[in-house]
C-alpha cells in the first residue's frame, strides 16, 4: 500500500520530511490501522482520507496496491 | 453610517441615512438588496441604468482578523445576472472608516474624458485622470500613489476595464500598496469603465472607527474568534502553503483542470504544487515570501510574494486558481511562467480565471499549443492593443468558445469554471450550476465536505450549506478563510454583531443572512430572464468522462432545481 502525504504532513511524518512511503499491512486492515501505525502528530479529525481518489472513512478496508492520500483538510482556494 | 450616492453624469453627491430595509445588511447582502430595489434587471450592464456599488461587510472597519473585505456589485456584463465580487486589501477598511455603508455610482458620464473620483471626509470630487488613463494597473497605481500619497486606498481598473471587456476586474491595494487584491469576477471593471472612472481614491484621514455599541462585549467576542481561528488546523496549512496547497488535493481527487478541462490529473503536478511553491520561495530569498497578509490584521496570511531566481518579485500573490487555470489548464508547468502570465493579466486588469479558461479554449482551437507559455503571453499582450483577437480573449472563455467554434467551453452562466472540475467534485458542480453568481470559486466549494465527491446523490445538501454560509460570510465582510474561526466559534458572529450594532440576533444569523442574500440574488436573476436552463453545467460535462475517475456530471436536474426549496 502506498501512502502519500500532503502539505503539513510532509513535515510531521515519523521519518521527518517525507512525501510518500510504502507500507505493508495485514489482510483486512483499515485506513484507521494505517493511521495508527504511522503515529502522526496531527489530529486525525483534521485529515481528509482519500483511497484511490475517493474520500473515505477511517473504517474503510485497504487492499494491496491501494493508494492512500492523507490530506490536512483544506477548504479550497 | 450613510449611503453615498454619486451621479457620474451630474457629478453630484448625495449623502443620506440608511433606509430601514437596508440597515441590517452589509457587503453582498446589501448589494443584492440595493440592486433589486434600484437596478432594472433587464438593463444594459454597461448602460446608464446599471449601478456600481461598493459595500463593506457588516463587520468591516475594526481590523478583526481577515474581516475587512470590500464587496463590489452590479449587473454583470459577463453573466447578464447579479454580480458580487469581493476583495481583500485596504479598501474595505477605509470605506468603513469614512462611514460609508454603501457607495452607489449611477448614471452615464456626460463626456469621454477619464476621471478619478476622490472620496474623503469632506465629500467627493472628480479630477481628470490625464495621462493615467490608458496605463496598465501597476503603472497607474504608481502614478496614483505619487499623486494622492501612500495613506489612501485605491480601487482602479486597467486597460481591460477601459475597453469594457467582460472579464475586467477592479483592483485594490494590498497592505503593502501592491494593486493585486481584485474584485475579479464577472466584469465589474467594465461597469466601472462604462462610468468613465479610472480610479477611486478613498482617503479616510481624520475619520474615526465605526462606532461600537458595546466595546467590552466586542473585545471579548473578538478574542474568542481570533483564538478559534489561530488554533484551527487549516490556518496553519494556509499560512505555510497558501491556496496553492489545494493543487495536490485536487489532483488526488482527479479534479484539477488540465489542458482545457480534458483530464483531471496532471503529470507535472509536483512542479506546480503548493509544497514546491513553498520550497522555491524559501530557497530563493530576497523578496520571495511564502506567508503574506493581504490586509492589516489578518492572522492567517494565505498570500505570498512570488519572486524569481534573482529574488525580485514577479507577482504577489500567486494563488491556486491562477496556478490551475493558467498552469495545468494550459499545460504550463513552470511556476515562473505562470507568475509572469499572472502579472500580465493583473496589469491588464482582467480575471485570471476567465483569462486562463479563454486561453485553454483558444489552445483547443489551435491558437496556441498547450505548454507554450511564450505564446500565451503574446496572446495576452494582444489585449493591450485592442485588436479583435485581444478583445475576444478579454471577453472571456464563453465568447472565445463561440467565436472559435469550440464545444468544450468550461463556463456556467457565461462565467468560467474555477480550478475544480465539477465532474470529480460534484458538490462544487452543484454550486457552479445553481449559484446566482455563475461558476465561482467563492460561492460554495464543497471540497472539505466529508462526502464521496463522486456520488451524485450526496451533493445537494452539501452544496446548499456551503452556498448559504458563503453568502453569509460575504455579507459580514469576512474572508472565506475567516470561516474556520467562525465555524469553530459560531457564537462569536452573534456576539460581534450584537456588540457592534446593539442587536439581539442569535447564532443562526450567519445562515439567515446567507439565505436572504441568495433569495434576493436569485430573484434579480429571475427578473433578468434566467430560468432553470441557466442552472446547468455545460452539456459536454454530462457526457464526456473525465480521466482518471471517468466521472461525468450526473446530478439529476430535478435535484438541482430543488436546491432552493428550503
Ligand atoms: S486569509 Fe488570505 S485572502 Fe483572507 S484576508 Fe488573510 S491574506 Fe487575505
Chain A nearest-CA residue for B418: A77
| Nearest in space to B108 (alpha carbons), one of B15, B54, B151, B44 | B44
pLDDT tens sequence across B391-431 = 999 999 999 999 999 999 999 999 999 999 999 999 999 99
Domain A2-72 has CATH 1.10.1030.10: no
Q: Which of A6, A56, A74 sits opposite B448 (nearest CB)?
A: A74
What's the half-sphere exposure (Cβ side, CA atoms, 13 Å) at B218? 18
**Residue-by-residue pLDDT tens, chain B, 566 positions:** 999 999 999 999 999 999 999 999 999 999 999 999 999 999 999 999 999 999 999 999 999 999 999 999 999 999 999 999 999 999 999 999 999 999 999 999 999 999 999 999 999 999 999 999 999 999 999 999 999 999 999 999 999 999 999 999 999 999 999 999 999 999 999 999 999 999 999 999 999 999 999 999 999 999 999 999 999 999 999 999 999 999 999 999 999 999 999 999 999 999 999 999 999 999 999 999 999 999 999 999 999 999 999 999 999 999 999 999 999 999 999 999 999 999 999 999 999 999 999 999 999 999 999 999 999 999 999 999 999 999 999 999 999 999 999 999 999 999 999 999 999 999 999 999 999 999 999 999 999 999 999 999 999 999 999 999 999 999 999 999 999 999 999 999 999 999 999 999 999 999 999 999 999 999 999 999 999 999 999 999 999 999 999 999 999 999 999 999 99
Mapping DSSP to helix (H, G, I), strand (E, B) and coil, where does residue B2 land? strand
- Whether the predicted model's global pTM rises above the 0.90 cut: yes
Q: Is B449 left (phi over 0), alpha (psi -120 to 50) or beta?
A: beta
Q: Distance between CA atoms of B304 and B168, rounded to whole angstroms?
A: 23
* pLDDT of A14 above 60: no
Nearest-atom number in ligand 1 for the CA of B480 is 4
pLDDT score for B443 = 97
Ordered structural domains, chain B, with CATH = 2-203 (3.60.9.10)
What's the half-sphere exposure (Cβ side, CA atoms, 13 Å) at B384? 14
* Geometric angle at alpha carbon A45, from B422 and B453, rounded to 5°: 15
Q: Distance between CA atoms of B3 and B58, rounded to whole angstroms?
A: 14
Interchain CB distance below 8 Å, A71 and B252: yes
Peptide bond into B548 cis (omega under 30): yes
Instruction: Determine contact: B545 vs chain A, CB below 8 A.
Output: no
**Domain boundaries of chain A, sorted by first residue:** 2-72
Q: Is the ipTM of this complex over 0.95?
A: no
B72 compared with A13, residue with greater pLDDT: B72
Q: Enumerate the H helices of B285-372 as residue ranges.
A: 320-326, 335-348, 352-364
* Rg from Cα positions in chain A: 12
pLDDT score for B434 = 98
Interchain CB distance below 8 Å, B245 and A6: yes
Grid coordinates representing B34?
440595493
Rounded percentage of chain B residues whose pLDDT exceeds 90: 99
CB of B384 within 6 A of ligand 1: the answer is no
CB of B301 within 6 A of ligand 1: the answer is yes
Question: What is the residue with the minimal CA distance to atom 5 of ligand 1?
Answer: B66
State the distance between the two ends of chain B, measured CA to CA, in whole angstroms. Answer: 33
Question: What is the residue with the minimal CA distance to atom 8 of ligand 1?
Answer: B294
CB of B481 within 6 A of ligand 1: the answer is yes
| CB proximity under 8 Å: B 498-537 to A | none
Among B85, B86, B303, B480, which residue has the most ligand 1 atoms within 8 Å of its CB, making it the best to mutate?
B303
pLDDT band at residue A12, thresholds of 50, 70 and 90?
low
| Nearest in space to B237 (alpha carbons), one of B156, B168, B320 | B320
Residues of chain A in contact with residue B426, where contact means CB-CB under 8 angstroms, are: none
Q: Which of A46, A48, A75 sits opposite B480 (nearest CB)?
A: A75
Beta strands B115-120; B197-203: pairing state: parallel
b/e string for B351-372 if b means 16 or more Cβ within 10 A?
Answer: bbbbbbbbbbbbbbeebbebbb
Mapping DSSP to helix (H, G, I), strand (E, B) and coil, where does residue B510 land? helix
pLDDT score for A76 = 86
* pLDDT of A15 above 60: no
Grid coordinates representing B373?
507559455
pLDDT band at residue A43, thresholds of 50, 70 and 90?
confident
Amino acid at each position: 500500500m502506498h501512502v502519500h502525504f500532503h502539505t503539513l504532513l510532509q513535515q510531521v511524518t515519523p521519518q521527518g520530511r517525507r512525501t510518500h512511503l510504502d507500507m505493508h499491512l495485514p489482510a483486512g486492515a483499515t485506513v484507521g490501522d494505517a493511521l495508527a501505525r504511522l503515529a502522526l502528530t496531527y489530529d486525525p479529525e483534521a485529515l481528509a482520507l482519500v483511497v484511490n481518489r475517493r474520500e473515505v472513512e477511517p473504517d474503510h478496508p485497504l487492499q494491496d496496491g491501494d493508494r492512500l492520500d492523507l490530506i490536512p483538510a483544506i477548504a479550497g482556494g | 453610517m450613510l449611503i453615498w450616492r454619486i451621479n457620474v453624469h451630474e457629478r453630484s453627491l448625495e449623502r443620506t441615512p440608511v433606509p430601514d430595509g437596508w440597515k441590517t445588511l452589509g457587503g453582498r447582502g446589501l448589494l443584492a438588496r440595493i440592486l433589486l430595489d434600484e437596478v432594472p434587471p433587464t438593463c444594459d450592464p454597461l448602460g446608464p441604468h446599471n449601478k456600481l456599488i461598493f459595500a463593506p461587510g457588516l463587520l468591516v472597519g475594526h481590523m478583526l482578523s481577515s474581516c475587512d473585505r470590500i464587496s463590489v456589485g452590479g449587473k454583470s456584463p459577463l453573466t447578464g445576472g447579479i454580480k458580487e465580487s469581493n476583495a481583500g486589501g485596504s479598501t474595505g477598511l477605509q470605506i468603513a472608516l469614512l462611514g460609508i455603508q454603501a457607495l452607489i455610482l449611477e448614471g452615464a458620464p456626460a463626456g469621454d474624458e477619464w476621471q478619478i473620483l476622490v472620496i474623503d471626509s469632506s465629500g467627493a470630487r472628480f479630477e481628470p485622470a490625464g495621462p493615467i488613463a490608458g496605463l496598465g494597473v501597476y503603472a497607474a497605481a504608481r502614478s496614483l500613489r505619487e499623486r494622492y500619497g501612500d495613506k489612501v486606498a485605491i480601487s482602479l481598473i486597467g486597460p481591460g476595464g477601459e475597453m469594457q471587456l467582460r472579464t475586467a476586474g477592479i483592483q485594490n491595494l494590498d497592505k503593502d500598496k501592491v494593486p493585486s487584491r481584485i474584485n475579479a469576477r464577472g466584469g465589474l471593471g467594465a461597469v466601472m469603465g462604462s462610468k468613465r472612472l479610472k480610479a477611486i481614491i478613498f482617503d479616510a484621514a481624520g475619520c474615526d472607527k465605526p462606532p461600537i455599541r458595546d466595546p467590552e462585549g466586542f473585545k471579548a467576542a473578538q478574542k474568542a474568534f481570533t483564538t478559534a481561528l489561530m488554533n484551527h488546523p487549516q490556518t496553519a496549512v494556509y499560512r505555510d502553503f497558501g491556496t496553492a496547497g489545494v493543487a495536490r488535493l485536487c489532483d488526488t481527487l482527479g479534479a484539477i483542470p488540465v489542458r482545457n478541462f480534458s483530464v483531471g490529473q496532471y503529470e507535472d503536478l509536483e512542479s506546480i504544487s503548493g509544497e514546491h511553491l513553498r520550497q522555491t520561495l524559501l530557497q530563493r530569498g530576497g523578496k520571495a515570501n511564502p506567508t503574506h497578509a493581504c490586509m492589516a490584521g489578518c492572522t492567517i496570511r494565505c498570500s505570498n510574494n512570488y519572486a524569481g531566481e534573482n529574488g525580485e518579485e514577479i507577482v504577489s500573490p500567486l494563488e491556486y486558481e491562477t496556478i490551475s487555470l493558467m498552469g495545468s489548464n494550459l499545460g504550463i508547468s513552470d511556476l515562473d511562467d505562470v507568475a509572469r502570465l499572472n502579472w500580465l493579466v493583473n496589469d491588464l486588469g482582467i480575471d485570471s480565471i476567465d483569462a486562463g479558461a479563454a486561453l485553454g479554449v483558444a489552445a483547443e482551437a489551435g491558437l496556441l499549443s498547450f505548454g507554450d507559455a511564450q505564446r500565451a503571453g503574446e496572446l495576452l499582450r494582444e489585449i493591450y492593443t485592442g485588436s479583435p483577437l485581444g478583445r475576444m480573449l478579454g471577453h472571456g472563455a464563453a465568447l472565445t468558445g463561440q467565436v472559435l467554434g469550440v464545444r468544450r467551453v468550461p463556463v456556467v452562466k457565461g462565467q468560467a469554471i474555477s480550478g475544480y472540475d465539477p465532474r470529480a467534485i460534484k458538490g462544487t458542480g452543484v454550486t457552479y450550476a445553481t449559484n446566482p453568481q455563475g461558476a465561482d470559486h467563492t460561492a460554495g466549494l464543497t471540497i472539505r465536505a466529508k462526502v464521496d465527491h463522486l456520488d451524485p446523490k450526496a451533493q445537494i445538501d452539501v452544496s446548499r450549506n456551503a452556498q448559504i454560509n458563503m453568502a453569509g460570510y460575504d455579507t459580514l465582510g469576512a474572508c472565506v478563510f475567516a470561516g474556520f474561526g467562525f465555524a469553530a466559534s459560531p457564537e462569536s458572529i452573534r456576539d460581534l454583531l450584537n456588540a457592534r450594532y446593539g442587536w439581539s440576533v442569535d447564532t443562526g444569523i450567519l445562515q439567515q443572512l446567507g439565505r436572504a442574500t441568495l433569495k434576493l440574488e436569485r430573484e434579480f436573476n429571475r427578473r433578468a430572464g434566467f430560468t432553470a436552463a441557466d442552472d446547468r453545467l455545460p452539456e459536454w460535462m454530462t457526457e464526456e468522462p473525465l480521466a482518471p475517475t471517468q466521472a461525468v456530471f450526473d446530478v439529476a436536474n430535478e435535484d438541482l432545481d430543488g436546491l432552493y426549496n428550503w
